[in-house]
Structure 1
Amino acid sequence: MEASKVIHAIYTDDDVLMNAVKKVKAERHHIEEIYTPFPVHGLDKAMGLEPTRIAIAAFMYGCVGLTVAIVMMNFIMIEDWPQNIGGKPSFSYIENMPAFVPIMFELTVFFAAHLMVITFYLRSRMWPFKKAENPDPRTTDDHFLMEIAVNGNENELSELLKETGAVEINLIDKEH
């Protein structure tokens, strides 16, 4: 395995982290990853990450759920076993559709929510029994860690990170 060096800069405040990210990006250094104990609003834009496409996936998953609901209710309530419930005729799906709206809504939300979670976990490569990739356990409590690739500029980068308010700076050999 090939090992490369990275610097782990640890911060104790999210506002200091945001300012540090902006300064590091302004100096044209590549930030590999940032580990935070909670979502930091605006961090994705500060890092220059592309917008997520999960909303598009959610819409498509919702459409799948709506389609499943319509086909399921048409088959069950109209074709397979039509019943006279409350005096409502079961001649066609369209006549009964107002009664089916809650089911259509619920299955749309059900499919969108569950399939989005599955998609998120697969895209993030988080599956059951996977070993955590967190480099410092303090980032699950109250610290923020910025991981920056080093290309022979350790001293310059360390000085920049000290200026940005890092409370701890470590040079790490990272294996791929």
Structure 2
Amino acid sequence: MSSTKYILGLFADPDEMMHGIDLLQKNSVPIYDVFTPMPIHGIEKKLGIKDSRLGFAAFMFGCLGGTTIFSIAYYMLVHDWPMNIGGKPAFAIPDFVPITFEWTVLFTAFGMTLTFFFATHLFPGRTPRVMDLRATDDRFVIAIDAKGNTPHDDITKILKEAGAVEVKHNDRKYVSYE
């Protein structure tokens, strides 16, 4: 068995890459990932990628922030240190709205930043995961997991038929920038 981990099909044109995805799926070859230098409309649907759940996470972080500060403010201003200011009641909801809104936005922003870094593995200081460095410049790359897959020659033939400029057999998981 070869040491090849991934077979990379490099395309010069996004339309040829989309045609390559169609041919690979038609031949039941599972695609590991696709790397492009720019966003391509409709590629998520073609690859079967589900919609992001980041909106749900944002809502949860907002609820956490709003509940946290409302609870803190209520405890401090009503139970711990109630003050009679101008005869107003200690628990006046309009007084709590600005700080509750601000903490909701704050928790959502920080929570979404951390969630995004966690979900995409883009922590600061981490080496970016790139199969081929040209995918960040001018090439469109289809990566296929070579372990336990269709014979490599058949995959190479399908990629060449689809219009791949180059087909590489990669023995490393990712290319490092160093």
TM-score interval for Structure 1 and Structure 2 normalised by the shorter chain = 0.7 to 0.9
Distance in 1 of aligned mates of 2:134 and 2:151 = 26
CA 74–47 in structure 1, closer or farther in 2 if over 3 Å, else same: same
Distance in 1 of aligned mates of 2:50 and 2:9 = 23
Instruction: Indicate the SS of the match to 2:143.
Output: strand
Quick check: 2:5–2:172 contact (8 Å CA) kept in 1?
A: yes
CA 110–22 in structure 1, closer or farther in 2 if over 3 Å, else same: farther
Give the 5 Å matches for 1:97-112.
Answer: 97-112=93-108
Instruction: Indicate the SS of the match to 1:174.
Output: coil
Which of 129, 134, 148 is the aligned partner of 1:138?
Answer: 134
Give yes or no for the alignment of 1:115 onto 2:114.
no
Task: Kindly state the Cα deviation for residue 83 of structure 1 after the two structures are TM-superposed.
Answer: 7.7
Quick check: 2:82–2:90 contact (8 Å CA) kept in 1?
A: no
Higher strand share: 1
Q: Which amino acid aligns with 1:157?
A: I
Structure 2 runs not aligned, ≥5 long = none
Percent identity over the alignment is 32
Q: Deviations over 1:116-168 (max 9, x none)?
A: 22122123333232222212222222322110123352222122212323222
Count the aligned residue pairs: 170
Distance in 2 of aligned mates of 1:28 and 1:147 = 14
Q: Which amino acid aligns with 2:110?
A: H
The TM-score normalised by the length of structure 2 is 0.77
Give yes or no for the alignment of 1:59 onto 2:55.
no
Which of 168, 172, 175 is the aligned partner of 1:174?
Answer: 172
Q: Deviations over 1:36-79 (max 9, x none)?
A: 22333332221123333222222211110111231233245544
Q: CA RMSD in A?
A: 2.8
Q: Which amino acid aligns with 2:117?
A: Y
